[in-house]
Amino acid sequence: MAGGTTLDVYTGFDRMPIAGEWRAGGSGGSRADTDPYTGDVLTEIGLAGADDLDQAYRAARDAQPEWAARPARERSEVMAKAALILADRENELIEWLQREAGATRGRAAMELALVRAVTEKASEQADRVNVRTGTGSDIPDKENRVYRKAAGVVAVISPWNFPVQLSNRSVAPALALGNAVVLKPAGDTPVTGGLFLAKVYEEAGLPPGLLSVLIGKGSEIGDAIVEHEIPRVVSFTGSTPVGRSIAAKAGLKKLALELGGNGPLVVLDDADLDQAVAGALYGSYFHQGQVCMATNRIIVDASVHDAFVDRFVSAAAALRYGDPRGIGTQLGPVINAGQVDSIREKVSRAVEDGAELILGGDPTGPTGQVLPPQVLVGDNTVATAAEEVFGPVATIIKANDEEHALHLANDTEYGLSSGVYTRNEDRGLDFALRVQAGMTHVNDTTVNDDVHIAFGGEKASGLGRFGGDWVVDEFTTQHWISLQHQPREFQY
């Protein structure tokens, strides 16, 4: 702990911060937050309803102008302190990620490194508002200015797979730039997806009302959080069908959507197979494959296909799965029983469609939610290749040559993340430029270290925004003001 002090662990996660007050929601219902490995109840939360949401938005609207008017230095200091608190409470938050999200310790630590990086970056971005830039004019004595201002109130809807990071990558910069935020985290990860972050920002000195976190049923607040008149920006990370629904219901609001993926990883005929296997293993099974940028399809040139399959299956079979708190565990549980059933149903349909399951196994663990690594060999049309699986499943597809591999890679409605392996960097770059995706990694097995600089992709995966400053454009507006200077009158 910083300064050698011991911090009291956060408590009170049976309540949520709504309009500046920690309390239960008023819907009358509740939800148990459970450990996906053991089934233990971690907390039970009284769910929020439409009235709670309305109160949160109105409090955010009332608190935001004063926050935006503060000197950038003050907002920056809150963000910087929040980053230090996250570092101090790393072990506490890692334990929550293990218990609530089924994350192994290594995966949890990686996520928290990203969270701290995003928060530190937000501290640096606080001065990107309430400033002007000048533009030229062809009219004599005329000056054009563009002022950047906070957008106002931002709605953030985040998923369960990387709950802290995928909430905070919008929450931190939005707050730093002078906005207020109403956050709806996923019901499977209410603490790591929102309530813990709210405690951090509260401890860091964020004024009340600027960050509300609502845990509630989609049927009660899912549409309302998007349709409400107050928010000016909606930031959503999740499935493509839900993203399309949000786009249809949001009206005249700015949208930041990162949606589903069906990531291809291409192994060309000159690839280093050991490197390619390591990258494919990481892409397919990191966090049980529950990553939007996961490798869903491994497309391998026919000349190295059989050798790759042998090495990949051997490596996948050696992965250790089980209790995410266990030393050496590489795969923990799938988030919930419904997701396990969905994954297994896709595998069954793929086999019915002609794919060969060459590595499998039934779910294990106290809740039956630990699914061993699955490997199939099939074509681009089988269910586990054509659809986003979001589980520990890899489908290997044989390509006739490089052009066929490119066709297979692009033959999907999605376009989020992709990868290619080749010993020739120029060839890899040329291939990458022809892939229809928001991001393509050439010979890279550490891509998750940099995902905080990207948001979205192409096609049904959302609109890509890249670089460390994409959030400035998302969470601010610009005001153009023209000044026609008047001739000065001289006094004698």
The pLDDT tens digits for 175-229 are: 999 999 999 999 999 999 999 999 999 999 999 999 999 999 998 999 999 999 9
Residues 167 and 285 in one domain: no
pLDDT tens track for 417-429: 899 999 999 999 9
Q: At residue 151, does pLDDT exceed 50? A: yes
Residues 255 and 272 in one domain: no
In a domain, 454, yes or no: no
Q: What global pTM score does this model have? A: 0.91
In a domain, 165, yes or no: yes
Residues 105 and 178 in one domain: yes
In a domain, 13, yes or no: yes
Residues 177 and 62 in one domain: yes
Q: Looking at residue 129, what is its pLDDT?
A: 85
Residues 20 and 83 in one domain: yes
How high is the mean pLDDT of the chain?
91
Residues 120 and 189 in one domain: yes
In a domain, 222, yes or no: yes
Q: Looking at residue 3, what is its pLDDT?
A: 44
Residues 272 and 240 in one domain: no
In a domain, 492, yes or no: no
In a domain, 374, yes or no: yes
Residue 476: phi and psi, rounded to 5, are: -135, 165
Decide: 64 and 178 in contact? Cβ < 8 Å: yes
Q: The CATH number of the domain where 90 resides is what?
A: 3.40.605.10
Decide: 408 and 299 in contact? Cβ < 8 Å: yes
Residue 118's closest CA among 473, 478, 470? 470
Decide: 455 and 477 in contact? Cβ < 8 Å: no
Pairing label, strands 454-455, 465-466: antiparallel
Residues 253 and 148 in one domain: yes
Residues 470 and 439 in one domain: no
Q: Looking at residue 488, what is its pLDDT?
A: 63
Decide: 153 and 232 in contact? Cβ < 8 Å: yes
Q: The CATH number of the domain where 344 resides is what?
A: 3.40.309.10
In a domain, 453, yes or no: no
Residues 196 and 319 in one domain: no
Enumerate the active-site residues. Answer: 258, 292
In a domain, 71, yes or no: yes
Q: Which domain holds residue 178?
A: 2-259+466-478
- As a whole number of angstroms, the distance between CA 315 and CA 311 comes to 6
Decide: 148 and 131 in contact? Cβ < 8 Å: yes
Residues 236 and 283 in one domain: no
Amino acid type, 435: V
State the total domains in the chain: 2
Q: Looking at residue 346, what is its pLDDT?
A: 97
pLDDT band at 449 (very low <50, low <70, confident <90, very high): very low
pLDDT band at 459 (very low <50, low <70, confident <90, very high): very low
Residues 268 and 369 in one domain: yes
